């Protein structure tokens, strides 16, 4: 149904929203009220939006980016140098997801050649300390984890890479 409201083009900032004036006021009525966005977070409820946040910050690339950006603003090339193994595509995708959730902000210097920098927002900085603590715990306990893996693999039916025999149903 065509309402006569001029909409911004696809791919432009504000795509799909009314352009201005009375049309913008009508568009505001379609947005969710702030009370609808506020909810009691319950990570154990699969329908809770907090699960989406958990999934993001539990990703290895997101955790590593938050840790590196905790030291200060970085350009994409610097992030790739510090985080071994991350592809350009994964770096940008992860930075965008972190930016969408309010953990990271992108600063475009509007220069030629183009130059952008990423930094943690105050929300992102509040997450950096727990992420760093988890990174430290992993580095400190890696020998114990590797030892446990070796013991498990040595005692597992079929060896370290073999199939585990199914349990009998009694």
pLDDT score, position 55:
93
Which residues are CB-neighbours of 53 under 8 A, at least 6 positions away?
101
As to burial, measured by CB atoms within 10 angstroms (0-12 exposed, 13-18 middle, 19+ buried), residue 61 is buried
Question: What does the pLDDT look like over 49-108, one tens digit per residue?
Answer: 999 999 999 999 999 999 999 999 999 999 999 999 999 999 999 999 999 999 999 999
| Percentage of the residues of the chain whose pLDDT score is greater than 70 | 70
Tokens of 88: 């350009």
Structural domains of the chain sorted by starting position, each given as residue range(s) with its CATH number in brackets: 42-149 (1.10.10.10)
pLDDT score, position 121:
98
Is residue 117 predicted with pLDDT exceeding 90? yes
How does the average pLDDT of the chain come out, rounded?
Answer: 80
pLDDT score, position 69:
97
Reported pTM: 0.68
Closest CA to 69 of 108, 116, 120, 106: 120
Residue 137 phi, psi (nearest 5): -60, -45
The more confidently predicted of residues 15 and 61 is 61
Give the C-alpha separation, 49 to 100, whole Å. 14
């Amino acid at each position: 149904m065509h309402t006569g409201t001029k909409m911004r083009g696809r791919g432009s900032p504000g795509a799909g929203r009314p352009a201005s004036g009375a049309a913008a006021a009508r568009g505001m009525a379609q947005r969710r009220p702030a009370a609808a966005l506020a909810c009691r977070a319950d990570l154990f409820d699969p329908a809770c939006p907090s699960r989406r946040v958990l999934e993001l910050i539990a990703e290895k690339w997101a955790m590593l980016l938050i840790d590196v950006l905790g030291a200060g603003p970085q350009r994409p090339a610097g992030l790739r140098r510090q985080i071994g193994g991350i592809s350009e595509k994964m770096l940008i995708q992860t930075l965008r997801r972190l930016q969408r959730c309010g953990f990271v902000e992108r600063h475009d210097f509007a220069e030629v050649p183009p130059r952008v920098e990423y930094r943690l927002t105050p929300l992102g900085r509040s997450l950096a300390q727990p992420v760093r603590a988890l990174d430290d715990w992993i580095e400190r306990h890696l020998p114990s984890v590797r030892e446990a893996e070796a013991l498990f693999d040595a005692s597992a039916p079929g060896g370290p890479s073999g199939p585990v025999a199914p349990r009998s149903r009694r």
